[in-house]
Amino acid sequence: MGTLLEYALIQVFHNFGALLVVGLSGYGFRVALRHPPPQMLALLVMLAWLAQGLTGATFGWVTYRSDHRLPDIHGIAVGALMIKISCVGMGVGLMATCLRWGPSWSAHRRMAIWAGSTVLACLALTAAAFLRWFS
Ligand code: HEM
């Protein structure tokens, strides 16, 4: 019961994190054509990407602590997990460049970066379904 509750609570944070990366990246993309999205938005999206990595890793840690082994996944599930981890790495990277250089970018560059974060978030969300059902 204790471990199941832990998984459920981690999943709550992980699901809301997914909502934030998809929703806020999409919002950034929508406004980027007209004006630079506030730096605070880039910071929020970067933190949301990091939270996804952290809560995702916490799933594995809870399994390791209770079963003394990492989750037993193969094939498509491993591929889906690698895709998710790569999306987090690239998402954090995109938002970090946005925080550093965003204010001096052209509208097209801004749109490309925010579109990138949106596409990565959708890709991770799609991979989540494959990780769930092939593991
Ligand atoms: C380092 C990155 C990540 C790791 C290690 C990770 C890990 C996990 C794990 C272990 C689960 C539970 C799988 C299961 O129920 O069998 C999960 C579920 C989920 N993840 Fe992630 N995740 C990561 C990133 C992301 C990202 C970036 C998103 C979305 C933008 C995301 C969205 C979801 C969703 C929606 C679920 C629930 C799937 C379902 O139960 O149908 N994850 N993730």
Smallest Cα–Cα separation from 70: which of 6, 135, 116, 121? Answer: 135
Task: Please check the confidence at residue 1 and state whether its pLDDT lies above 70.
Answer: no
Q: Tens digits of per-residue pLDDT, 36-74?
A: 899 999 999 999 999 999 999 999 999 999 999 999 999
Instruction: Report yes or no: 88 and 53 within 8 Å, Cβ to Cβ.
Output: yes
For ligand 1, the distance from its centroid to the CA atom of residue 134, given in whole angstroms, is 13
Q: Is the distance from the beta carbon of residue 124 to the nearest atom of ligand 1 less than 6 Å?
A: yes
Q: Tens digits of per-residue pLDDT, 99-125?
A: 999 999 999 999 999 999 999 999 999
Tokens of 69: 């082994």
118/115 Cα distance (integer angstroms): 5
For ligand 1, the distance from its centroid to the CA atom of residue 107, given in whole angstroms, is 32
79/118 Cα distance (integer angstroms): 20
Instruction: Report yes or no: 120 and 26 within 8 Å, Cβ to Cβ.
Output: no
Instruction: Report yes or no: 45 and 20 within 8 Å, Cβ to Cβ.
Output: yes
Q: Is the pTM of this model over 0.75?
A: yes
